[in-house]
């Protein structure tokens, strides 16, 4: 095949022509890209400006609304209705029209609740009346039916904070709601309104009461007048968290009348109930309690055994010393320490008894003895 110069020329001129064309087409693609990006950026900037403008308008409106709500609250707080308790707080036309706006209503509700938490006496009562006058309670009751749990929980909290005791029958059924936070709010509400008598939901609930909720309820009850309630059903409840809570109540309020039922809890299938029962018995015990605990010792797992030894330290007598000394030979160092501490606490010869065992067995009892001596010296 002959290669002619003309071929090279053709190739050369083709390349020379196609190169600018390629460059041109490349540049036009770049141009389109840059143009598209510019449009996108300008659009974004435009939307951002619109957004910021709307935000600024909303903030200004919010500030005005806050002022209106504040003035309304002030009128309510200082409203003198001694002569006519049914007298309502006068509303301006603007406030009245704004009450149809959901966002304004939300703002007013929040301000009312925040202020009510800080005020007491007639001022607080007036705020409650304002809440009802503005029919905010009706909106809250509607929210109770919401499918969203957080709306329900907020509604329950709101009605509780505004102290609307009349709505309690509607709140009661939420004490066993499948959502934990809804349950917590409803349970707190019943206790808030009725104190110990409000605990009757414990008769029926199937869901567990969390540790945190138990603490909250105990704290609420500490503000209420103590009343003797029957905890028998609760101690026997299939819901172990109810039994645990009832044991905590018995311990806190020293309900000695339930001692025998509490003893029965030592046979409960759940370990946490048995643990709580032992803890309770440290406060509610008779001269037979220590013997009963010792009789259960060898049937139990380590954690419960340790709890029993700890309890014996509080309620044991000199008669229990031999049992505790025998535990110094237990094949667990934690048990040895617990037993040693208990012995020194209940027996005036405690240290001697440990010393005898230590000299017979050596380590670790000799170390434990030194430790106990150090603790006693402090």
Partner 1 sequence: MKILIAEDDQVILMLLEFRLKKDGHEVIVTHDGREALEKIDEFQPDIVITDIMMPYVSGLEIIGAVKSKYPDKMRVIILSGMGQENVVLEAFQLGADDFITKPFSPNEVSVRVRRFDTGRK
Binding mask 59-98 for partner 1 (x = CB under 8 A): -------x--xx--xx--xx--------------------
The CB-of-114 to partner 1 minimum distance in angstroms stands at 7
Q: Measured from the CB of residue 116, what is the shortest distance to partner 1 in angstroms?
A: 8
Strand locations in 121-206 (E): none
Q: Where do the H-state alpha helices sit in 162-258? A: 168-172, 180-194, 211-222, 232-235, 240-253
Tell me the number of residues near partner 1 by CB under 8 A.
19
Interface characters, 124-143, with partner 1 (x: CB under 8 A): x-------------------
Q: Closest approach of Cβ 33 to partner 1, in Å?
A: 49
CB of 27 to partner 1, least distance (A): 58
Write the CA distances from 121 to 74, 75, 316, 329, integer angstroms: 15, 16, 50, 64
Q: Which two tokens stand for residue 307?
A: 């709890």
Closest by alpha carbon to 308, among 344, 351, 331, 274? 274
Q: Does 105 bind partner 1 (CB under 8 A)?
A: no
Among 65, 79, 115, 174, binds partner 1 (CB under 8 A): 115
Nearest in space to 79 (alpha carbons), one of 134, 132, 129, 137: 129
114 or 230: CB nearest partner 1 = 114
Tell me how far CA of residue 69 lies from CA of 48, 64, 113, 138, 362, in angstroms.
Answer: 30, 9, 12, 19, 77
Window 272-311: contact mask with partner 1 (x via CB under 8 A): ----------------------------------------
Q: Phi and psi dihedrals of 85, rounded to 5?
A: -60, -25
Closer to partner 1 by CB, 72 or 243: give it.
72
Which residue in the set 95, 111, 193, 243 belongs to the binding site for partner 1 (CB under 8 A)?
Answer: 111
Residue of 121, 169, 269, 374 interacting with partner 1 (CB under 8 A): 121
Cis geometry, peptide bond prior to residue 364 (ω within 30 degrees of 0): yes
Nearest of 266, 189, 278, 203 to residue 234 by alpha carbon: 203
The span of 118-126, 204-212, 232-240, 350-358 binding partner 1 (CB under 8 A) equals 118-126
Which residue, 116 or 274, is less far from partner 1 as judged by CB?
116
Residue 194 and residue 208: Cα distance in Å, rounded? 21
Mark the segment that binds partner 1 (CB under 8 A) among 107-115, 225-233, 276-284, 357-365: 107-115
What distances in angstroms separate CA 349 from CA 311, 322, 336, 365, one per listed residue? Answer: 19, 11, 17, 16
Q: How many CA atoms lie within 13 A of 83 on its CB side?
A: 1
Report CA-CA distances (Å) from 142 to 132, 146, 170, 176: 14, 7, 11, 19
C-alpha triplet 22, 23, 28: angle, nearest 5°: 100
Helices 350-361 and 333-346 sit at what angle, rounded to 10 degrees?
A: 150
212 interacts with partner 1 by CB under 8 A: no
Cβ 99 to partner 1, closest distance in Å? 18
State the nearest-atom distance from the C-beta of 77 to partner 1, in Å: 6
> Which whole-number Å values give the CA distances from 82 to 79, 116, 127, 331, in the listed order?
9, 20, 15, 75
Measure the CA–CA gap between 109 and 117, rounded to whole angstroms.
Answer: 12
Pick from 80, 118, 363, 374: which binds partner 1 (CB under 8 A)?
A: 118
Asked if 8 is part of the footprint of partner 1 (rule: CB under 8 A), the reply reads no
Least distance CB 136 / partner 1 (angstroms)? 16
CB of residue 89 to partner 1, shortest distance in Å? 14
Q: CB 78 → partner 1: shortest distance, Å?
A: 7
CB of 121 to partner 1, least distance (A): 4
Which residues contact partner 1 (rule: CB under 8 A)? 66, 69-70, 73-74, 77-78, 111, 114-124
């Amino acid at each position: 095949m002959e290669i002619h110069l003309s071929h090279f020329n053709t190739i050369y001129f083709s390349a020379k022509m196609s190169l600018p064309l390629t460059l041109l087409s490349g540049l036009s693609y770049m141009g389109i890209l840059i143009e598209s990006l510019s449009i996108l950026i300008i659009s974004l900037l435009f939307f951002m400006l619109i957004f910021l403008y709307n935000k600024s308008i909303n903030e200004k409106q919010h500030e005005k609304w806050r002022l209106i709500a504040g003035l309304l609250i002030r009128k309510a707080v200082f409203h003198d209705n001694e002569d006519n308790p049914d007298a309502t707080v006068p509303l301006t036309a603007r406030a009245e029209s704004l009450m149809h706006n959901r966002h304004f209503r939300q703002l007013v509700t929040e301000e009312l609740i925040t202020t009510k938490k800080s005020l007491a006496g007639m001022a607080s009562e007036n705020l409650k009346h304002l809440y009802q006058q503005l029919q905010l309670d009706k909106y809250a009751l509607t929210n109770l039916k919401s499918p969203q749990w957080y709306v329900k929980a907020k509604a329950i909290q709101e009605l509780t904070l505004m102290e609307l005791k009349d709505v309690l029958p509607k709140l009661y059924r939420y004490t066993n709601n499948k959502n934990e936070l809804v349950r917590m709010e409803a349970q707190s509400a019943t206790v808030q309104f009725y104190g110990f008598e409000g605990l009757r939901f414990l008769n029926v609930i199937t869901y567990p009461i969390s540790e945190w909720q138990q603490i909250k309820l105990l704290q609420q009850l500490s503000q209420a007048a103590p009343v003797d309630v029957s905890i028998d059903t609760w101690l026997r409840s299939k819901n172990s968290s109810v039994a645990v809570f009832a044991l905590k109540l018995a311990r806190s309020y020293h309900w000695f009348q339930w001692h025998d039922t509490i003893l029965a809890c030592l046979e409960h299938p759940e370990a946490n109930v048995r643990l709580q029962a032992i803890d309770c018995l440290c406060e509610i015990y008779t001269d037979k309690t220590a013997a009963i605990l010792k009789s259960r010792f060898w049937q139990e797992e380590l954690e419960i055994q340790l709890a029993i030894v700890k309890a014996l330290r509080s309620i044991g007598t000199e008669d229990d010393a031999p049992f505790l000394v025998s535990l110094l030979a237990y094949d667990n160092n934690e048990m040895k320490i617990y037993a040693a501490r208990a012995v020194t606490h209940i027996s005036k010869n405690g240290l001697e008894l440990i010393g005898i065992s230590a000299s017979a067995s050596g380590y670790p009892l000799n170390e434990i003895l030194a430790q106990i001596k150090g603790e006693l010296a402090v």
